[in-house]
Amino acid sequence: MNTSQEQDNQFVLTVSCKTGTGIVSGITSYLSDRGCNIIELAQFDDKVTGRFFMRSVFSILPDASHTIDDLRSGFLDLAEKFDLEWAMHDAHRPTKVLIMVSRFDHCLVDLLYRHRKGELNIEITAVVSNHLDARPIAEREGIRFVHLPVTQDTKPEKEAELLKIVNETGTELVVLARYMQVLSDHLCEKLHGRAINIHHSFLPGFKGAKPYHQAFDRGVKLIGATAHYVTADLDEGPIIEQSVQPVNHAYYPEELVALGRDTETVALSRAVKLHAEHRVFLSGNKTIIFK
């Protein structure tokens, strides 16, 4: 089997459940007994919440008599026994991603570049914006561009259009790549666990307009960006990735803005990659991440 075939034959099993005994041995025995080779295995038993989390990468050996569909259907009994929340993903299949952006295009451009270079295992279903500035960028990449201008009066209508696009394209993850509109509580609920936002600075510091000017006025020694899941609590969702850079008194606001763009692109791209590789588990308002 060549390298490409090996990659096509890899699957990711994600599991979360109440902490208990026999879970790991039950799952690994199930896979082994059906001709699977476990390539990676990571687990975490959260003593605070009493929840167990596991991520396993496995392949089906060439002489095995079971297909991935057989494994999924047969796993139901084990899942019921341990009351598992679980999924089996084809590791090679790209995650369908819709990107939302306003006028700041650095995060969009970075994601498109990393996608083109094969760093992100994603399929971009569309670029959606409330402005027209990003249209040439999307169309240059051959990606569908959708203009959804939003006002206070048209917000419900435009969000309904967005959800229609998400459903029609089979989008699995929505990425707010500096999309400067607050999503409604209804939309946040619909996209729970499958929408990522990038926030300048550490949460919850320096909210509102000109955050890097606020940071300058406070004489900060670190600037950073936080990628997190979207919730109805503005910029308070479960954190996936953070990026920081040291600064000092010699950095003026414009220089902080430039450095901030770097931290934003790094944090967001890492968060998208982690999500697309099924490494992120939600645990209340926190995340469990197997890197």
Q: Which residues participate in catalysis according to the annotation?
A: 235
Alpha carbon distance 38, 55 (integer Å) = 11
Place of tokens 């094969």: 118
Alpha carbon distance 113, 97 (integer Å) = 14
Alpha carbon distance 204, 224 (integer Å) = 12
Tokens matching residue 209: 């307009």
Tokens matching residue 173: 């993850």
Other Cβ atoms within 10 Å of 202 Cβ, number: 17
Q: For residues 205 and 249, is the Cβ–Cβ distance under 8 A?
A: no
Alpha carbon distance 56, 73 (integer Å) = 18
Q: What is the DSSP secondary structure assignment for residue 105, as one 8-state letter?
A: -
Place of tokens 């999307």: 138
Tokens matching residue 246: 């040291």
